[in-house]
Amino acid sequence: MKTIINEEFLVSPFFVFFLMYTSIIGVGIMSFQRDITEGAGYDAWISVLLSGVSIHILVWMMYRILGLANNDVTYIHQFCFGKWIGGLLNAVIIIYFLLMVLITFRVYIEIVQVSMFPLMKTWQISFIFLLLIYYVVSGGFRVITGICFWGTVLPFMILFPLSFFPLEFAHINHLFPLFSHSVKEILVSTKTMVYQFIGFSTLFMFYPFIKNPERSQKWAHFGVLTTILLYFIIAIITFVYFSEEHLKHTILPTLTLGKIVEVPMIERFEYIIVSMWLLLVLPNICLKLWAACRGVKKLINIKQHTILFIFLFILFCLTNVLERHRQIEQLANVISNIGFYFSYLYIPFLFVAIHIKQKFNKSKVTSVKN
């Protein structure tokens, strides 16, 4: 059964490109190079491509699931598993979205503290950012989509060309010999890389807000492809600039590359990078937070503004509890594992479950007619 949503709240299929792009690109792009090289060294560029191909397959599965139900994942859970089990699964996916918001939000605050304002308290920075997040999310899905558009265009136009500056100091021999790692090592690196893409699951919630959603699939795949190419290019630039040993001791490789850029009258260009990155982190957080709020509204039917206030308070509290870098790193690892199993086990399981349910319903209708 399709959820009826007023046309004034819908967005054109074209905007799915920006929604998918911003739901994937987040703070992880600042440090993913070091993480993926732990498994496969500088053959990790293969892992970037492999993980990207697998995400394309999962997005195709999601469109099949959503197209059959013509609704979001909250309805699909109850359709396939019943009211109680479906409600429990809905609660789990709400917590999943909220955890993704928490880790993105906390890591970005840590980057701001380390690179710009080391003397500012966590609660001060988080309070200011949460006011901005409230302003965006309370505006509704179309406002979030608009922020996703500008969060894609402006950082890409300004920051992407600057990422090529390090090529002046590139050593192409860092990439050789090619294919020097085993298949197992590359797959371990691929699993690590998947963490960067787990935000694509927000499609499960915003699908009903797309006009003619079946036409948006090509834009969703185009958004995923763009992120894959961006990660691939940044990985290659990082690999040819840093030696493998040097990269192991670099916490934020992408931000370190930005320090190479020299602009007249700007001594610390990384300040510009971190500030501009807010335009991309903000829609990433807002879209996932909106998805969590929407899930609760569908589950217990209360106003999204009320849910939003509650979630913002929870985020404020948890953000200030996670003070040490080790705690943040451990939480990121937990969410990475959850995201991996959700993507590669649960989505295929749901794909099979809804096809079986549809087939069972059709056979039941046929037997009643006979």
How much is the pTM?
Answer: 0.92
> Distance between CA 193 and CA 45 in Å, rounded?
10
For residue 365, what pLDDT is reported? 43
Indicate if the pLDDT at residue 369 is higher than 60: no
User: Which residues make beta-bridge pairs with 263?
Assistant: 266
Percent of the chain with pLDDT over 90: 47
Write out pLDDT tens, residues 341-350: 999 999 999 9
For every residue of 284-337, which 3-state class applies, written as one string? HHHHHHHHHHHHHHHHHCCCHHHHHHHHHHHHHHHHHHCCCHHHHHHHHHHHHH
Indicate if the pLDDT at residue 367 is higher than 70: no
Q: Report CA-CA distances (Å) from 158 to 88, 161, 181, 234.
A: 44, 7, 36, 15
Write out pLDDT tens, residues 142-199: 999 999 999 888 777 766 666 677 777 888 888 888 888 888 889 999 988 988 899 9
For residue 4, what pLDDT is reported? 64
363 vs 137 pLDDT, higher one: 137
Q: Are 130 and 316 in contact (CB under 8 A)?
A: yes
For residue 275, what pLDDT is reported? 83
Give me the residue label for tokens 């905007």: 15
269 vs 310 pLDDT, higher one: 310
> Distance between CA 96 and CA 102 in Å, rounded?
10
For residue 227, what pLDDT is reported? 92
pLDDT band at residue 2 under the 50/70/90 scheme? low
Indicate if the pLDDT at residue 248 is higher than 90: no
Q: Are 277 and 154 in contact (CB under 8 A)?
A: no
For every residue of 216-251, which 3-state class applies, written as one string? HHHHHHHHHHHHHHHHHHHHHHHHHHCCHHHHHCCC
Locate the domains of the chain by residue range: 14-347
> Distance between CA 151 and CA 116 in Å, rounded?
21
Indicate if the pLDDT at residue 106 is higher than 70: yes
For residue 131, what pLDDT is reported? 94
Task: Name every residue whose Cβ is closer than 8 Å to that of residue 237 and which is 6 or more positions away in sequence.
Answer: 163, 164, 166, 167, 170, 257
CATH number of 14-347: 1.20.1740.10
For residue 289, what pLDDT is reported? 96
Nearest residue to 113 via CA among 130, 101, 125: 125
Nearest residue to 28 via CA among 242, 192, 226, 159: 192
pLDDT band at residue 293 under the 50/70/90 scheme? very high
For residue 362, what pLDDT is reported? 64
> Distance between CA 178 and CA 84 in Å, rounded?
52
pLDDT band at residue 368 under the 50/70/90 scheme? very low
